[in-house]
């Protein structure tokens, strides 16, 4: 049984005031997410990440295709007992305090008074809001609101947690806290499905990622596979190099940067970095470091998506032929 399974999930919105025309936000998305671990749905703005999550949560309905959560069709809302959801830029009832809000959410799940009190207390402690119990939600900072949102997503101790851009708009400290929370959930055996356009977060957190671009699945794979792909280049740093060595570096490296007494150069894989290193050592160069540079998630992302700046947010329901999914 898969935690999340989508088959040919497609969503068309209509745009225009007088003459409605369809706009395809999601185009035949088929993917399977195993139970346990952190799955990242990556893509530039307008790629269809939020639409995917909203379809899975039944906030919008697919134009075509089907999806299952924990082996149950998404139309069966009883599966919502087992899932948690943090919307993008969450907003809550601003007149309530965090304990009141969480208590309301817990009541919906039919928890008894004692169980509610315990759960709300534990969650407030866990997300670091225990000392703000009397503060109304309207006075919460962005980071505090996000943490309250995570707490409500966890109120039912869900098996599967959807987080839509959980780190967007947070300061570095807030991001770190949310990241630690997500890692903690993985340790508990939960499945976390989160969408983000911040590649650094995905690289730090995810076990597997899918890349969406203009509504299409452009890449899918384990983070280990992606990061341990071939070495693309090597970086050599020399200290106090002679003018002759600098000239040699310029002739072999794709880039040479001098920083104070040091010269940093990038040797492409084609130029055989080990041989270049040997040449420098033969000439008596003082080599400070030699590091292989492997492809990062960013390289993988750019390879699949290209320049996000060139991509329109949505595209026509009738895309040109030949654009097959990988």
Partner 1 sequence: MNSISRVATIAVHSFKESVREKVLYNLVGFALLLIAAAILFGSISVGIQKTILINLGLSSISVFGLLMAIFIGVGLVAKEIERRTLYNILSKPVARAEFIVGKYLGLLVTLVINTAIMALGFYAALYYVTRQFVRADAIALEAIYLILLQFAIVVGVAIFFSCISTPVLSAVFTFCVYVIGNYLADIRWFGRENGSVLMEKLTHALYFLLPNFANFQATSLAAHGMRIPGYLLVSDSLYALLYVTVLVSAAVLAFEEREFK
The set of residues, in sequence order, having a beta carbon less than 8 Å from that of 179 and lying 6+ positions away, is: 167, 201, 204, 205
Compute the least distance from the CB of residue 69 to partner 1, in Å: 11
Cβ–Cβ under 8 Å, residues 292 and 228: no
| Closer of 109 and 290 to partner 1 (Cβ) | 109
| Closer of 102 and 182 to partner 1 (Cβ) | 102
Mark out the alpha helices in the chain (DSSP H runs). Answer: 49-56, 98-108, 113-126, 142-153, 172-187, 199-205, 223-227, 243-252, 273-282, 297-305
| Closer of 81 and 258 to partner 1 (Cβ) | 81
Compute the least distance from the CB of residue 51 to partner 1, in Å: 8
Which run of H or E residues covers position 264? strand 262-268
Compute the least distance from the CB of residue 14 to partner 1, in Å: 11
Compute the least distance from the CB of residue 109 to partner 1, in Å: 7
Q: Locate 261 and state its tokens.
A: 């007494």
| Closer of 2 and 13 to partner 1 (Cβ) | 13
Compute the least distance from the CB of residue 175 to partner 1, in Å: 22
The separation between the first and the last C-alpha atoms of the chain, rounded to the nearest angstrom, is: 24
Which chain residues interact with partner 1 by CB under 8 A? 13, 54, 57-61, 77-78, 80-81, 83-85, 87, 89-93, 95, 104-105, 107-110, 152, 156, 162
| Closer of 106 and 181 to partner 1 (Cβ) | 106
Exposed e or buried b for every residue in 217-244, given b needs 16+ CB within 10 A? bbbbeebeebeeeeeebbbbbbeebeee
102 phi/psi in degrees, rounded to 5: -65, -35
CA angle 99, 105, 110 (to 5 degrees): 115
| Closer of 85 and 194 to partner 1 (Cβ) | 85
Cβ–Cβ under 8 Å, residues 86 and 166: yes
Compute the least distance from the CB of residue 94 to partner 1, in Å: 8
CA torsion, ordered 132, 134, 138, 141, to nearest 10 deg: -10
Compute the least distance from the CB of residue 41 to partner 1, in Å: 17
Compute the least distance from the CB of residue 153 to partner 1, in Å: 8
| Closer of 85 and 280 to partner 1 (Cβ) | 85
Exposed e or buried b for every residue in 56-79, given b needs 16+ CB within 10 A? bbeebebbebebbbbeeebeeeeb
| Closer of 156 and 196 to partner 1 (Cβ) | 156
Measure the CA–CA gap between 202 and 301, rounded to whole angstroms: 11
Measure the CA–CA gap between 133 and 137, rounded to whole angstroms: 10
């Amino acid at each position: 049984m898969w935690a999340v399974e989508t088959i040919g999930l497609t969503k068309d919105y209509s745009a225009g005031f007088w003459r409605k025309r369809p706009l395809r936000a999601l185009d035949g998305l088929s993917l399977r997410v195993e139970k346990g671990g952190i799955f990242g749905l990556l893509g530039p703005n307008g790629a269809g990440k939020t639409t995917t999550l909203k379809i899975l949560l039944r906030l919008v309905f697919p134009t075509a295709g089907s999806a299952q959560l924990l082996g149950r069709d998404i139309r069966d809302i009883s599966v919502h007992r087992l899932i948690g959801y943090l919307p993008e830029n969450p907003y809550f009832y601003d007149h309530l305090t965090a304990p009141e809000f969480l208590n309301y959410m817990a009541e919906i799940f039919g928890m008894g008074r004692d169980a509610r009190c315990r759960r709300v207390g534990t969650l407030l402690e866990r997300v670091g809001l225990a000392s703000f119990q009397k503060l109304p939600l309207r006075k919460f900072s962005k980071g505090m609101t996000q943490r309250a949102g995570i707490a409500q997503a966890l109120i039912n101790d869900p098996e599967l947690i959807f987080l839509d851009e959980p780190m967007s708009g947070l300061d570095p400290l807030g991001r770190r806290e949310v990241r630690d929370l997500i890692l903690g959930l993985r340790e508990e055996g939960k499945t976390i499905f989160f969408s983000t356009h911040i590649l650094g977060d995905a690289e730090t957190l995810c076990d597997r990622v899918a890349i969406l671009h203009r509504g299409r699945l452009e890449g899918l794979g384990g983070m280990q596979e992606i990061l341990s792909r071939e070495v693309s280049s090597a970086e050599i740093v020399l200290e106090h190099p002679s003018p002759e060595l600098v000239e040699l570096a310029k002739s072999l490296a794709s880039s040479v940067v001098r920083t104070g007494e040091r010269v940093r150069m990038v040797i492409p894989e084609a130029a055989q970095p080990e041989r270049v290193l040997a040449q420098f050592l033969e000439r008596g160069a003082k080599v400070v470091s030699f590091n292989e540079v492997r492809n990062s998630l960013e390289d993988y992302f750019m390879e699949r998506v290209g320049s996000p700046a060139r991509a329109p947010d949505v595209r026509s329901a009738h895309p040109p032929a030949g654009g097959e999914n990988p």
